[in-house]
Amino acid sequence: MTRELRGVPAAPGAAVGAPWIHPPAGTGGAARLSLDEAAEAAAVEIAELGARLRARGHEAEAEILDAQGLMAGDPELIDPARALVEAGSPPADAIHEAGERVARTFEALDDEILSARASDVRDVAARIIRLMAGEAPPRLERRSVVVALDLPPSVTVELDPELLAGIALEGGTRTSHAAILSRSLGIPAVVGVAGLRDAAGTAAALGLDGDAGVVVVDPDADATARLASAADAAGERARADAAFGERPLATSDGHRVICAANIGDPVEAAAAFAAGAEAIGLFRTEFAFAGRGTAPDEETQARAYATVLRAAGDADVVVRLVDIGGDKPLPFLAIEPEANPFLGVRAIRLHERHPDLLPIQARAILRASLETGRRASIMAPMVADEADLDLVLRLVDEARTAVPDAPAPRVGIMVEVPSAVLLADRLAPRLEFMSIGTNDLTQYLLAADRSNSALAARQDPLHPAVLRAVASVVEASERACGSCEVAVCGEMAGDPVGAQLLIGLDVDELSMEPRSFGAVKRAVAARTHAELVALAEAAQGMSSPAAVRASVETPA
């Protein structure tokens, strides 16, 4: 009988397949190994899987496998297991128990990163047990929905991607490794589904809707048809998009725009370039400040920034000065509680009360630039007027005096405060680039709080007012003889409809999450530049974002 289980949407798309429960029951098929042989074989398997992840650009997950490879032969795991065997325990129980002991020590340390590593240890122990038992690696026989409490990266990458239709997890969150990896591999996933494994154990088929966060147990003909057609459509879209991944971002008549990536962590840089990024258009630096008791020093920051500059080679990297405020307070920055942190003391406005924060960061960026020999672009968030710009330029000058041998940085600002739009003609001649942050610009322009879901419909960047704001920034830059490039780094740039309008408005660069590259490139390549200019022109005279979207999706 069909029934639905609710979970948390983790990766978009739909799937129907046979349930495949991890870990699977043994089937044999390989030679039994001793504890030592199995530990060694596990290290070899893990190294191979790590290389596979790295080749696909999943550096963060590959690093987990690097550490797991060392764990497989680690004396802290193997020695206690041997001692248990000598005391009469069956070898499989011994390694299981030894792994559990280590995992529990990690969990007891009350450290979020380390607790996550506990599951890595259990995963390694399970692999050694499998190899000792002479079990072949897990294999899917047909199109399957993988069901587990949690799915380690080592298993996700081990399964045949052609047969791995979807992932449903009883545990996990949207930000767990399994969820992140399934999103970046394009596998539909739902996590946090209570009662999933019991239900799946007796099911003949499972359906999964990764957008709605629903698992359908034994879907009936209607549900199967609905999910299958959604899966087909999504699969077709993904294949068509993927075919565009390597191409330049250009209209059908060859009008080119820079395709750049937004990243929030240095380890994402390599994957962004592997996915076809021509530049990093927005490198958010909040990662260096979050989760710390003290402010990160210059050297720590410089090392992190250098990683990205190195991965970029000759490509441009726009490092955004830290944008923090009362919505995400940090222990080392005393920020008074504010009634409305988005209109409060945030980003460069913190300089008055925390005069070391931005100078240290600016020097760290230049030191990273000096160390790698690569020019960096420095971008200041929340610049509202020329007084703010004076401050930013002074900070950069002072940093250049402190690090005189660093390559001269490009300097730019985020355009997100409406006053900066109105003053763009005053700001542009003094800048090398402006990057429009359409998420914040939309909330400020339409006075609609981004964190208030009741106003969600008012936060659409396709609003004619936002389009007009973009047009006026582009015009200001053109009047500054085009010496100031205009980019867009909000979510609008990664929406195929938004991207078409922005190119019609003549922006120079679109910066987005790398997973959007294919869809955006495909949409843009279907039209000429003149068509996009006409669509953008007409859109500025429409009455609502919905009308704008419809006009681009199905033009009259």
Partner 1 sequence: MAEAEVEVRNPSGLHARPAATFVRAAGGFGAEITVTNLTRDAERSANAKSVLGVMGLGVASGHRIRITGAGDDADAAVSHLVELVASGLGDALDAS
Catalytic residues: 177, 489
Find the helix packing angle between 517-525 and 221-242, rounded to 10°: 70
Q: Which two tokens stand for residue 72?
A: 């497989």
What's the closest the beta carbon of residue 93 comes to partner 1, in angstroms? 19
Q: Does 61 bind partner 1 (CB under 8 A)?
A: no
Alpha-carbon distance 275 to 269, whole Å?
Answer: 10
Question: What CA–CA distances, in Å, run from 76 to 29, 42, 86, 92, 95?
Answer: 30, 16, 16, 16, 11
Query: Among candidates 181, 212, 260, which has minimal Cα distance to 9?
Result: 212
CB of 73 to partner 1, least distance (A): 9
Q: Does 294 help bind partner 1 (rule: CB under 8 A)? A: yes
Give dist(CA 545, CA 524) in Å, integer: 19
Residues 6+ apart with CB under 8 A from 87: none
Task: Name the residue nearer to partner 1 (CB basis): 113 or 339.
Answer: 113
Residue 180 touches partner 1, criterion: CB under 8 A: no
Whose Cβ is closer to partner 1: residue 124's or residue 345's?
Answer: 124
Q: Do 244 and 526 touch, CB atoms closer than 8 A?
A: no
Q: Are 393 and 428 in contact (CB under 8 A)?
A: no
Least Cβ distance, residue 296 to partner 1 (angstroms): 7
Work out whether the CA dihedral 15, 19, 20, 23 comes out positive or negative: positive
Residue selected from 48, 111, 232, 253 as contacting partner 1 according to rule CB under 8 A = 111
> Rule CB under 8 A: which of 259-278 touch partner 1?
266-270
Please report whether residue 2 would count as binding partner 1 according to CB under 8 A.
no
Minimum CB separation of residue 419 from partner 1 in Å reads 35
Of 14, 39, 64, 392, the residue at the interface with partner 1 (CB under 8 A) is: 64
Residues 372-411 contacting partner 1, CB under 8 A = none
- Can you tell me the distance from the alpha carbon of 393 to that of 402, in angstroms, rounded to the nearest whole number? 14
Candidate residues 33, 94, 102, 396; the one interacting with partner 1 per rule CB under 8 A = 102
Residue 102 or 505 with smaller CB distance to partner 1:
102
Query: Binding to partner 1 by residue 67, rule CB under 8 A?
Result: yes
Strand ranges in 264-347 using DSSP code E only, listed in sequence order: 279-283, 317-320
70 binds partner 1 (CB under 8 A): yes
Angle between helices 464-479 and 529-539 (to 10 degrees): 120
Tell me the per-residue interface mask from 303 to 322 with partner 1, x by CB under 8 A, - otherwise. xx-xxx-xx-----------
User: Of 47 and 455, which has the nearer Cβ to partner 1?
Assistant: 47
Q: Determine the distance from the C-alpha atom of residue 285 to the mean position of all C-alpha atoms in its chain, rounded to a whole number.
A: 14
Of 44, 109, 233, 526, the one binding partner 1 by CB under 8 A: 109
Residues engaged in binding partner 1 (CB under 8 A) = 59, 63-64, 66-67, 70-71, 74-77, 102, 105-106, 109, 111, 113-114, 117, 121, 266-270, 287-288, 292-294, 296-297, 299-300, 303-304, 306-308, 310-311
